[in-house]
Structures are given as C-alpha cells and as structure tokens.
Amino acid sequence: MHEALLDVHVVAGTVGLLLGPVWLVARRAGRGGRWPAVGYQAAVALVAATGGILAATSPGLLWLLPVAVMTEILAVAGALARRRGWRHWATLQPHLLGGSYIALVTALLVAETGNPVFWVLPAVVGQLPIAVAKRRLQVAGPAPA
C-alpha cells in the first residue's frame, strides 16, 4: 500500500511541476488557462493528500504533515485571490501560487538529493520570478470583474 501511495504521490507531483509553467504561459498569452489551472490544483491537492498520509504513517515524518497542508492552502488561496478580488491580490497571488510551486520543487530536489541546501535554495531562487509576476500584475491593473 505504501509503495502504491508513493507512486501516486510522485506522479501527481510530476504533473503539478509540468502544469505550473503551462498555466503561467497560458495566462501570460492572454488565455484563461482554465484546464492547466484545474489540473495544477488537482495535482497539488493529490500531492498534499498523499504526502499527508505518507507523513502520518511513516516513522519520523509526521513533521512533514504541516508542509503538505500549507502547500495545498497556498495553491487554493493563490487561485482564489484574483478570482475573488481580494484586496492586494496582485501582490498576494504570485507569493501564494509561487509558494505552492516552490514547495513542489523543494520536495523534488530534497527527495532526489537529500541535500539540505535544497530546503532553502528554491525559495531564494523563486523570489525573482515572484517579483516579476507581482510587477506585471500591478502594472496590468485590477482584475476584470
């Protein structure tokens, strides 16, 4: 059972890592990107759920449960920020969605290398694209109603 759950976790993470940039490119090209967005959200939800279960059932990994929960919260909140017209959404959305994507990248790099530097490096490197996205959204103006 553990191996099957881990396989689902890895496949969902891979799908999320692939769909994140597809969604971004679709949005930048002026298309809504609805299907990549739905796919990304589903992949992150599945990664968070399977990661949470794996963390709760694997000795010594319970501390990863909040990471799984926060990754899902970031993805959902990022998707809702613009759609719901949250105040300061243009500042919030890149951090929220970017944070969920950075969590996927971090998990991949840490799992594959075991190198502790990868707990921090993706977050540091991710600040530049987040800053660029914030700038573009703020220049573009308010979200359409």
Q: Report the phi/psi class of residue 63: left, alpha or beta, with left for phi > 0 and alpha for psi in -120 to 50.
A: alpha
Contacts of 60 (CB under 8 A, 6+ apart): none
- Integer Cα distance of 35 and 9 in angstroms: 21
- Integer Cα distance of 134 and 116 in angstroms: 29
For residue 103, the model assigns a pLDDT of: 97
What percent of the chain has a predicted confidence (pLDDT) above 90? 68
- Among the residue ranges 6-20, 76-90, 100-114, the one predicted with the least confidence is 76-90
CB atoms within 10 A of CB 78: 23
Is the separation of the CB atoms in 95 and 130 below 8 Å?
A: yes
With CA atoms as reference, report the closest residue to 76 among 47, 105, 56, 110: 47
Whether 28 shows a pLDDT value over 90: the answer reads no
pTM value is 0.89
Mean pLDDT, the chain, whole residue set? 91
For residue 87, the model assigns a pLDDT of: 86
The residues spanned by each domain of the chain are 2-140
**One-letter amino acid identity for 87?**
R
- Among the residue ranges 10-14, 74-78, 111-115, 130-134, the one predicted with the least confidence is 130-134
